[in-house]
A and B are shown apart, each in its own frame.
Chain A
Amino acid sequence: MSGATTSLELSVAATACRLRPEQWQRVRIVLVALALFGWVTSAWGWSQDTQQFHASYLVSFLYVATIGLGATLFVAIQHLTTAAWSVTSRRLMESIMITVLAAPALFIPVIRGLDVLYRWAQPGFFDPDDPNVAFKRVFFSPTFYESRMVVYFVVWCVLAWLLYQGSVGQDRHGGSMAAVVKLRRWSGPGVAALFVTVTSAAVDWVMSLEPYWYSTVFGIYVFAGGAVAFVAAIIILALGLRALGYLREWIHVEHYHDWGKWLFALSVFWAYLAYSQYMLMWYANLPEETAWYQVRLNGSWRWVSLTLAAGHFGVPFLGLMARRAKRSLPWLGAIAGWMLLMHWVDLHWLVMPTVHEHGFHLHWLDLSTWLAVGATAALVGWWVMGRHPLVPAGDLRLAESLEHHNE
């Protein structure tokens, strides 16, 4: 890329920026091995402890799905705002986004465990004579639940596919304003559809684990957590490729600085939602609301709650506040890795108290299901990464993105 001055030369240099086949192959073998190991051990775990398997699997599924959906939201927002700064990292975003295509298949074990996980899925759970639950009785019937899942997955897969094809299409046919405008046109309704479906899915997947509990910001809370984890994931992915010698000139410190700002801002947003939800319930002190927190503030769950507050908010807030911190790649990478761990703690804290009421309990299935789901989704992303250049070579804003500065 050094020496490339015209947009054509830049585009040619970008097209040449690909994963080396033998390296791609090696990582693929590792991912296949991890996925196989994960699925085999998870299957054995399922035969031993069905309830633990389904709870662990749900956490792992949520981990992967929320990151993929966070990526989809980010890609759509880049198109919507015609952002130039993020163009050189957009292919990495798109590769994380495309893991959404694996979500429908990965959801099958959750559907199979519906009546194990969700009390409302057990026949006769809601009292038919109780007018307070008349709506929930209809809303939380397995058939209606499954139909909603079909709608969500269709919306997400279509959106991810359109955005991905629109971007790689420019690699092949060259960039054009028409392509830019087309991607922007999909992204507007796409963002609106994402917010409706992802927040509803968060209610269906997680909030309904406690059928009587409700919180109006819950969907956004889960989505915000996914967005934080996505930003952490793209920082780790870019730094990992950088360590292997890729993208060094394409994604430079000015871009990492901006990703650091996003990581900082989104974890503050997450904390704002977490606090709003907690404070309102603490103040109102209504039994049907506080029960959810009572479990999480007693026994060893209390320590998990405190870890979450300090680790998911305090660490990135203090750790990324300074300009120098966001521009130091090792430090930014360390915080990003920490946030990926915190996202898991967050989801574990949301789901597991329904199974382990009396305290935090780590099970080996937490790791094996995470390996199974994570490695499978990573394979999907890695597979498309091997097929296309690592930067959107046809994009008209490549040069503008490379010149991005933070002063």
Chain B
Amino acid sequence: MTEPLWGIAAVFETPQQLLEAARELRRRGVERLDALSPFPVHGMDRVLGYRVPPLGWVVLVAAVVGASLALALQWWTGAIDYPLHVGGKPLFAWEFSVPVTFELAVLLGAFAAFGGMLWVNRLPQYEHPVLCVDGLARVSTDEFVLVVEASDSQFDENRMTRWLQELGAVRVERIPGRGES
């Protein structure tokens, strides 16, 4: 009886090899791939087929809501709820409303961007099978790792291991599943 396998991880020595291996596996129809590297590898997003998340639109909506709230606040408090003449200025005018409007638009936009980033990346995530493999610890310093999940339709441990070795992996690590516990 074999232990449950979550996937396998191939360790490469250069970002070019990582990029090339990912491109080749994608060409062979492997879908459930992930790449880990100590720094961003240019072009990897496109190779892995990442879509641009709709975060920009979320941020835009949040910023517009922020601007509207700020304008409404300044107009209602200044001109409706507690009208107070200061220095002969109008109770409400766009001229003095711009700074607060801008600030609240940026504030809500930034909240949406930060919260949305966590949501899109499924963070915070405290444990993951890849994190339990001791042989992958150097991915945060100088190694480049390509992970193939066992749930991929093309997955066959022996064949995948051979492919990865042919693509220049210096070693291939097994990533055990979480099991029942």
Residues on A lying within 8 angstroms of B by beta carbon are 275, 278-279, 282-283, 285, 322-323, 403, 405, 407
Contact B43 A282 (CB under 8 A): no
Q: Pick from A279, A323, A405, A407: contact of B98, CB below 8 A.
A: A279
Chain B: minimal CB distance from A141 (Å): 37
Contact A407 B42 (CB under 8 A): yes
- Which residues on B sit within 8 Å (CB–CB) of A403? 42
Q: How many A-B residue pairs have CB under 8 A?
A: 22
Contact B96 A407 (CB under 8 A): no
- Which residues on A sit within 8 Å (CB–CB) of B40? 407
Within 8 Å of chain A (Cβ to Cβ): is B38?
no
- Which residues on A sit within 8 Å (CB–CB) of B96? 279, 283
Query: How far is A279 from B102 in the complex, measured between Cα atoms in Å?
Result: 14
Can you spell out 12 A-B residue pairs with CB atoms less than 8 angstroms apart? A275-B98, A279-B95, A279-B96, A279-B98, A282-B95, A283-B95, A285-B87, A323-B52, A403-B42, A405-B43, A407-B42, A407-B43
Chain B: minimal CB distance from A397 (Å): 16
- Which residues on B sit within 8 Å (CB–CB) of A282? 95
Within 8 Å of chain A (Cβ to Cβ): is B49?
no
Within 8 Å of chain A (Cβ to Cβ): is B56?
yes
**B30-60, CB under 8 A of A: which get 1 and which 0?**
0000000000101101100000100010000
Within 8 Å of chain A (Cβ to Cβ): is B89?
yes
Given A279-B95, A283-B95, A283-B96, residue A407 in contact with residue B46 (CB < 8 A) = yes
Residues from 68 to 109 in B contacting A, C-beta threshold 8 Å: 87-89, 95-96, 98
- Which residues on B sit within 8 Å (CB–CB) of A283? 89, 95-96
Contact A278 B46 (CB under 8 A): no
Q: Pick from A275, A279, A323, A405: contact of B42, CB below 8 A.
A: A405
**B139-153, CB under 8 A of A: which get 1 and which 0?**
000000000000000
Residues of B within 8 A of A (CB-CB), count: 13
Contact B95 A407 (CB under 8 A): no
Query: How far is A279 from B94 in the complex, measured between Cα atoms in Å?
Result: 10
Q: Pick from A275, A279, A323, A405: contact of B56, CB below 8 A.
A: A323
Contact B45 A407 (CB under 8 A): yes
- Which residues on A sit within 8 Å (CB–CB) of B42? 403, 405, 407
- Which residues on B sit within 8 Å (CB–CB) of A405? 42-43
Query: How far is A322 from B42 in the complex, measured between Cα atoms in Å?
Result: 21
**Nearest B residue (CB) for A406:** B42
Query: How far is A285 from B86 in the complex, measured between Cα atoms in Å?
Result: 13
Contact B95 A278 (CB under 8 A): yes
Interface centre among A323, A403, A405, A407 (most CB of B within 10 A): A407
Chain A: minimal CB distance from B69 (Å): 20
**Nearest B residue (CB) for A254:** B42
Query: How far is A275 from B94 in the complex, measured between Cα atoms in Å?
Result: 11
Query: How far is A164 from B62 in the complex, measured between Cα atoms in Å?
Result: 46
- Which residues on B sit within 8 Å (CB–CB) of A407? 40, 42-43, 45-46
Chain B: minimal CB distance from A266 (Å): 18
Query: How far is A407 from B98 in the complex, measured between Cα atoms in Å?
Result: 33
Query: How far is A403 from B87 in the complex, measured between Cα atoms in Å?
Result: 58
Query: How far is A275 from B88 in the complex, measured between Cα atoms in Å?
Result: 21
- Sample of 14 further A-B pairs with CB below 8 A, known A282-B95, A285-B88, A403-B42: A275-B98, A279-B95, A279-B96, A279-B98, A283-B89, A283-B96, A285-B87, A322-B56, A323-B52, A405-B42, A405-B43, A407-B42, A407-B43, A407-B46
**Nearest B residue (CB) for A407:** B45
Query: How far is A118 from B175 in the complex, measured between Cα atoms in Å?
Result: 79
Query: How far is A219 from B87 in the complex, measured between Cα atoms in Å?
Result: 30
- Which residues on B sit within 8 Å (CB–CB) of A323? 52, 56
Chain A: minimal CB distance from B149 (Å): 23
**Nearest A residue (CB) for B44:** A407
Q: Which 9 A-B pairs have the closest CB atoms?
A: A405-B42, A282-B95, A407-B45, A279-B95, A275-B98, A405-B43, A407-B42, A283-B96, A279-B98
Query: How far is A405 from B19 in the complex, measured between Cα atoms in Å?
Result: 15
Query: How far is A405 from B52 in the complex, measured between Cα atoms in Å?
Result: 15
Chain A: minimal CB distance from B91 (Å): 15
Chain A: minimal CB distance from B93 (Å): 8
Chain A: minimal CB distance from B61 (Å): 13
Chain B: minimal CB distance from A217 (Å): 15
**B154-174, CB under 8 A of A: which get 1 and which 0?**
000000000000000000000
- Which residues on B sit within 8 Å (CB–CB) of A279? 95-96, 98
- Which residues on B sit within 8 Å (CB–CB) of A285? 87-88
Chain B: minimal CB distance from A378 (Å): 37
- Which residues on A sit within 8 Å (CB–CB) of B56? 322-323
Chain B: minimal CB distance from A128 (Å): 36
Query: How far is A275 from B87 in the complex, measured between Cα atoms in Å?
Result: 21
